[in-house]
Structure 1
Amino acid sequence: MAELGSWADGPARQAIVDFVARTRDEVPVAERVAVFDNDGTLWCEQPLPIQADFILRRLGEMAAADPDLQARQPWQAAHEGDAAWLSAVMTEHYAGDDTKVKVLLGGILAAYDGMSVEEFEERSDAFLRSTQHPTLGRPYLECAYTPMVELLAYLEDNGFTNYIVSGGGRDFMRPVTDELYGVPRERVIGSTAALAYANDEHGGTITHTPRPEYLDDGPEKPLRIWSRTGRRPLLAAGNTNGDVPMLDFAQHADKPFLRLLVDHDDAEREFAYTAGAEQALARAGAEGWTVVSVKDDWATVF
């Protein structure tokens, strides 16, 4: 059985062990559902999310090919290497201002318009397997948090079905989630563009369109969890304000439940930041959620 060897002894680890023990005694296996955010919860999201790096490179290619795009956001940020602009997108989003999010989303949708789902997946997979993190000195595929990978395995060994519920792109994550986390592609919930199908000699082709289907963040997360699983999760884990509705949705009146909030407070081994998590941390303190300190609760980060 998987153990939690990378977790330091302390209240967070004990809360997990106690919760799983109660669940084994009180809840049927079919009802043991756990949901996890990805960016900043399962893998590193600083100094910018991994998918953001992928997107910036694509936008940069487009700007190089079409100089007219170089004066328009988000192509301008990509062309100039302005990571601060992209970082501000998410900071402002979690503060309630989606002005830049809409601008970025327009660029993303244009960047992959008409691309088949297979080509998009090939590009995502190649990027994730060939690209280094800009500051940590390790490949992106080695930026998953070891304690969280252990937690996923521990839950699975105790009858849980794990889902990833991310604001990141569903089809960007799918090529690697089974390998990294033991979560198969059909249990990945994430943001997506609307897709289109056309019949052809290849058995039909599904392509990306320039229209959003949904951004899997905030109140959208509980909706997508219910649509996919038909259940409230018993455990939910996140790290930002956008995860609060998902953490709320894990509440049960008659079953054990656990809410985990990862607190990035270790500048030496990873990053220290609270931007975009202020509301979540306040709720955690006021309502007794289990706060997971990277500095104090993880004996190993990567």
Structure 2
Amino acid sequence: MKTKKRILAAVLIMALLTALTGCSTYPDVTIDLTTGEVRIGDQAAGDTQAKYNEAEPAGVKGELLYWSEDSAAAASIRDYVAEVTDINSDKYIPVEDRIAVFDMDGTLIGELYPSYFEYMMFIHRALHDDTFEAPDDMREFAEALEDGVYGGKVPDNSELLHAKYAGQAYAGMTVEEMRDYTRAFMQTEADGFTNLTKGDAFYWPMVSLVQYLADNDFTCYIVSGSSRTICREVIADWLPIPDNRVIGMSYSMLASGQGDTDGLEYVYSADDKVILGEDLIIKTIKMNKVSAISQEIGKVPVLS
């Protein structure tokens, strides 16, 4: 008799859930007929994520979230991942060759608040940071850059000029200090948006895509024209990409006690710290981005 009552109670619960969710398919419900405990899964039937699960081919792991259900692009991504992860497919790609590379600004995170994250942080450093006194030529460029990003026309050759002056602006910081500085700037408001910080201005569908690929054994990299150190901190809380898979604009690095001694002669000591130098090694844009991929990854990506 008790068992019948428990079954009846479970049926009533499922009926209520159907009425509340507006779905004819029941959620994941488990009934323990010994104790009468009814356990309900976290997701109700009809939930978008559950529909994604149903749509994914067997063998594909994870979910592609925040994309429209009728998105042709999302469908092509799912089909592609299903093919290249199916060992019986003629398009199968071994795990070690599943390399995907992503730009950061404008691809994973916004670049219109009102410009690139690193441009806005440099402007702040050169013009609005009371702890730093910019030299006259740096200040002059920063003022022109600020006028340009708000006025719609940045100075000519701004990419290389920014690379030059940004190196000078952060020179002497340890890597940890630079990341802390980046983290603090991430907490500032994204211009032109309400209730959004610069560090949270990610495109959620693209974040989901990176996770989806990682779930299916793709090795994902960031390959950005922005500073490698800045990129590492910006993505740290958002993407399953470790520091050693972030490629970006790079500067010289020195020991804190090195002074003008060449790195071929100076020996790092226990009291030293690694600090940022001001000499630009590479600005990873255009062909430089291709050469950096070749040098640092050593394989041609299958997705970019």
Q: What displacement does 1:144 show? A: 0.6
Q: CA 1:142 to 1:201, structure 2 compared with 1: closer, same or farther past 3 Å?
A: same
For residues 269 and 64 of structure 2, what CA distance do their matches in structure 1 show?
Answer: 50
Task: Select which of 48, 62, 66 maps to 1:6.
Answer: 66
State the SS of the aligned residue for 1:194. Answer: strand
Q: CA 1:205 to 1:14, structure 2 compared with 1: closer, same or farther past 3 Å?
A: same
Unaligned runs of 5+ in 2: 1-60, 87-91, 259-266
Amino acid at match of 1:163: Y
2:240 aligned partner? 182
Q: What displacement does 1:72 show? A: 5.4
1:18 aligned partner? 79
Amino acid at match of 2:181: R
- TM-score normalised over the length of structure 1: 0.67
Q: CA 1:68 to 1:174, structure 2 compared with 1: closer, same or farther past 3 Å?
A: closer
State the SS of the aligned residue for 2:165. Answer: helix
1:224 paired to 2:289: no
The answer on whether the counterparts of 1:165 and 1:221 sit within 8 Å (CA) in structure 2 is yes
| Higher share in helix | 1
1:194 paired to 2:252: yes
Amino acid at match of 2:272: G
Q: CA 1:66 to 1:5, structure 2 compared with 1: closer, same or farther past 3 Å?
A: closer
Q: What displacement does 1:15 show? A: 1.6
Amino acid at match of 1:51: E
Q: What displacement does 1:87 show? A: 5.9
Task: Select which of 128, 133, 145 maps to 2:190.
Answer: 133
For residues 199 and 244 of structure 2, what CA distance do their matches in structure 1 show?
Answer: 20
Task: Select which of 19, 29, 32 maps to 2:95.
Answer: 29
Q: CA 1:119 to 1:178, structure 2 compared with 1: closer, same or farther past 3 Å?
A: closer
Provide, for residues 87-115 of structure 1, a one-character-per-residue CA deviation record: whole Å limited to 9, x for no partner.
644xx8xxxxx633333223212212222
1:40 paired to 2:106: yes
Amino acid at match of 2:63: E
1:206 paired to 2:206: no
Q: What displacement does 1:191 show? A: 0.5
1:163 paired to 2:221: yes
- TM-score normalised over the length of structure 2: 0.67
Q: How many residues align?
A: 226
**Does 52-61 or 194-203 show the bigger shift?**
194-203
The answer on whether the counterparts of 2:125 and 2:132 sit within 8 Å (CA) in structure 1 is no
Unaligned runs of 5+ in 1: 93-97, 237-302
The answer on whether the counterparts of 1:59 and 1:74 sit within 8 Å (CA) in structure 2 is no
Q: Percent identity?
A: 30
Provide, for residues 16-63 of structure 1, a one-character-per-residue CA deviation record: whole Å limited to 9, x for no partner.
111111211211111101000000000000021112111111011479
RMSD over aligned CA atoms reads: 2.6
Task: Select which of 172, 188, 209 maps to 1:151.
Answer: 209
Q: CA 1:156 to 1:206, structure 2 compared with 1: closer, same or farther past 3 Å?
A: same
Larger Rg: 2
